[in-house]
Amino acid sequence: MKILVAGGDGFLGSHMVDRLVEDGHEVAVLDRFPDNRTRHLGHLEGRVRLVPGDRAARETAAEALKGQDAVYDFVCATNPAVSWNDIPLEIEQNLLPAVQFFEMAAEAGVRKLVFVSSGGTVYGPAEGAADEARVPLPVNPYGIVKLACEHFLRHVRAKRGLAYDVYRVANAYGPRQSVTSAQGVVAVWMRRILDGEVLQVRGDERTVRDYVFVKDIARLMTHSLRDLSSSDTFNLGTGKGTSIVDLLEIFRRVVDVPFRFERTPRGPSDATVSTLDSRKLLQHYPGFRFSDLEDKVRETWQDFRARHRCA
């Protein structure tokens, strides 16, 4: 298939690109490429078409969307912490451009758009593993806008026939995660260790997250390509909660350099316990097992250390 990955030079997007190329698809990547070059796709030079530019720019988006069968949209301008303090930014940068892009995809004749929502924020601060039947009650503007995007996809499907899938993804981690963003505790801690800074351990035994390895996410999101006419919403997390204290213990076993940490209270934008029930998606992958957290934190640490040495 011909597939466009918007935001495909980022963390999740680049792993999706790897997966799609491996599966034999013809892949184009629309990204701002902030460093004026690809950060994560150099190894695919000549095998993917790069379309540099802003997803919000109509000409760029139109060029990228032309002739595509499906689109994966990974573009995002904020993170939950930024969004908590800047609602207008969240609406301007994440809602309006996304909805405009959905309509343009429909106009261009794309058959399906795959959108990445946020399993950690759309459900709001409720206990227990959420399944898709739980009524989403987000309190963070980031989750509110993600949910609004999900609703607008339903609107665009009704009005223009664009099929869509939504994946409400849990806490992703793995190689290539941004070290500059405040999102992603695994990446943030690794960057701090490599720079000799003190780790901030925010929260306690009740601060529980569902950490899911990025390559597992990319593999499971290929489900959307099995039927380009269907539309659905899926959780994508392991269903297993790990507290911030347990994660620190994993770091102590895996990280082979000394590091310092300090405990700080939970922030107002953090849900206490956030895990996802993904059985609806997993029924399509009989026998699938999520990667082991400790193994993959080790693999991620090795990747971060190698990149840090190069830098």
Ligand X SMILES: NC(=O)c1ccc[n+]([C@@H]2O[C@H](COP(=O)([O-])OP(=O)(O)OC[C@H]3O[C@@H](n4cnc5c(N)ncnc54)[C@H](O)[C@@H]3O)[C@@H](O)[C@H]2O)c1
Asked if residue 78 lies in contact with residue 97, where contact means CB atoms within 8 angstroms, the answer is no
Residue 145 tokens, joined: 């806008």
Show the binding pattern over residues 151-170: x = contacts ligand X (CB under 6 A), - = does not. Answer: ------------------x-
* 10 vs 239 by CB, closer to ligand X: 10
Per-residue binding letters, 51-70, with ligand X (x by CB under 6 A): ---xxx--------------
- With CB under 6 A as the contact rule, the residue among 183, 224, 269, 275 that binds ligand X is 183
Number of residues that bind ligand X (CB under 6 A): 25
136 binds ligand X (CB under 6 A): no
Nearest to 185 by CA among 171, 175, 170, 204: 171
Beta bridge partners of 115: 73, 166
Which residues within the stretch 10-29 sit at the binding site for ligand X (CB under 6 A)?
10-13
The interface region with ligand X, picked from 30-38, 196-204, 218-226, 252-260 by CB under 6 A, is 30-38
Residue 172 binds ligand X (CB under 6 A):
yes
Over the range 183-216, which residues count as b (16 or more CB within 10 Å of their CB) and which as e?
Answer: bbbbbbbbbbbbeeeebebbbeeebbbbbbbbbb
| 76 near ligand X, judged by CB under 6 A | yes
Q: Which of 100, 178, 222, 231: binder of ligand X (CB under 6 A)?
A: 178
Residues in the chain: 311
The CA distance from 227 to 231, in Å, is: 9
Closer CB to ligand X, residue 30 or residue 194?
A: 30
With respect to ligand X, which residue has the nearer C-beta, 77 or 248? 77
Q: What is the largest CA-CA distance in the chain?
A: 57
Nearest distance in Å: CB 93, ligand X: 8
Give the separation between CA 196 and CA 181, rounded to whole angstroms.
18
Q: What is the dihedral of CA 297, 303, 304, 305, to 10 degrees?
A: 110
Determine how many CB atoms are found less than 10 A away from the CB of residue 182: 12
Q: Does 75 bind ligand X (CB under 6 A)?
A: yes
Bridge partner residues of 149 (DSSP): none
Residue ranges that bind ligand X, judged by CB under 6 A: 7, 9-13, 30-32, 34, 54-56, 74-77, 116, 118, 169, 171-172, 178, 183-184
